[in-house]
Amino acid sequence: MSIKVLIVDDNAGVRRMIRTHLDIAGGYEAHEAENGEHCLKVAAEVRPDVILLDIMMPIMDGMEACRRLRDDPFTASIYIIMLTAKAKVEDRVEGLDTGADDYLAKPFAPDELLARIRRGNKIVDDRRIALFDQLTGLYNRRSFDSFFEKELARSNRYDSHLSVILVDIDHFKNVNDTYGHPVGDEVLKVLAQILQDSIRSSDFACRWGGEEFVILMPETNLEAAKKKAELVRQVVADFSFPKVGHLTVSFGVSYPGKDEFAKDFFERVDRALYKAKDEGRNRVVALLPGE
């Protein structure tokens, strides 16, 4: 698999030179951006493994772009190598303090640049193992906890909506008991893909554990979250899973109350899910703060 590299520099000649070295070496998929603002857009679209980030650029410089990449959960794990003509120690320190992983002063030897990219790609692989559920490819619970903390702080700061949907496969034990765990694993992977395909790019779908999944929906009120859950419920009910056939899922939906502890909030989402189970499964139940 090719290593995705995003080259960010306002000098087209520099971008072309680096792309040429990557093409000659082989095994790289190169993308380009001409400033920090453009970098953020391209990084969100292609999810590169490594970013080669110049510091001195118009519109948005490399330092600010690096900060924003690190603040965004979708791009936080990317390996960032600062490329710049600024060689003073304080410049390197500032670059590393903004979240850069490595720092290479211009002019640089192509072989050294390629070696640092390869090293960065290995580190990114390790980071992603820590962030993602290895079976389904969704974010894991540890990642969700981090996303929720950031989005809750953002919601409180700007008084914006934030909703959570907890998802559980109905009678999943029967699938494992009847068809075996390998088939059950395939069901989990297919459902994960359905969830991922059903949400916006700003939402987070995670594997909560076992046959449970959770969707974090920033800037989404309870009614909109309920509608999304109902849409997914119907998609799953209509879908025929390989070897298993039709399955159903239940949903618990809620949003955090003002100054509510996370523990109390998630207990309520869990109650909503089990209320859906108790009422017959294959349904969406939403609870308000205090319920």
Q: How far is CA 180 from CA 78, 108, 185, 241, in A?
A: 37, 55, 9, 14
Q: Six-digit token pair at 53?
A: 């980030």
- Among candidate residues 211, 223, 279, 291, the one labeled active-site is 211
Active site residue 149: no
Contact 252, 274 (CB under 8 A): yes
Question: How many residues appear in the chain?
Answer: 291
Residue whose token pair is 């920090």: 36
CA nearest neighbour of 155 among 206, 197, 202: 202
Start-to-end C-alpha separation, the chain: 50
Residue whose token pair is 């380009």: 32
Residue whose token pair is 């990114």: 124
Three-state secondary-structure class, residue 191: helix
Residue type, 115: A
Contact 268, 223 (CB under 8 A): no
Question: What sections of 76-213 are H helices per DSSP?
Answer: 89-97, 110-131, 141-158, 172-179, 181-198
Which residues are marked as active site?
Answer: 211
